[in-house]
Chain A
Amino acid sequence: MFGVNNFKSDDRDKMDRYKSDDRSEKDGDERSKKMSGGYYRKKVCRFCSDSDFILDYKDVRIVQSFVSEYGKIVPRRISGNCAKHQRKLTTAIKRARNLAMVGYVTMGS
Chain B
Amino acid sequence: MPRDSISGYETTFLTKPEISDEVLKSLQERLTNTVGQFNGDVVLTEDWGRRKLAYSIKKETRGHYSYVVYTGGGGIVQEIERQLRLNEHVLRFLTVHLGDNFDKEAFKKERVEMQDAAKRREAERESRREERFERRGHYDMGGRGGREYMRDDMFDENISSHVEE
Please report A residues at the B interface, Cβ cutoff 8 Å. Answer: 51-54, 56-61, 64, 95, 97-105, 107-109
Contacts and interface: CB of A to CB of B under 8 A. Distances in A.
Interface of B: 12, 14, 51-55, 57, 63, 65, 67, 92, 94, 96, 113-114, 117-118, 120-122, 151, 153-154
Q: What is the interface of chain A mostly: helix, strand, loop, or mixed?
A: loop
Contacts, number: 54
B118 to A, nearest CB: 6
Given A64-B151, A95-B96, A107-B54, A100 B118 contact: no
Residue picked from B54, B96, B154, most chain A C-beta under 10 Å: B54
A100 B151 contact: no
B94 A104 contact: no
Nearest to A64: B151
B92 A98 contact: yes
Contact of B57 (A58, A100, A107): A100
5 contacts: A52-B117, A54-B117, A58-B67, A108-B54, A109-B153
A109 B152 CA distance: 12
A100 B92 contact: yes
A107 B52 CA distance: 12
Nearest to A59: B118
Nearest to A95: B94
Contacts of B117: 51-54
A101 B54 contact: yes
B53 A60 contact: no
B157 to A, nearest CB: 16
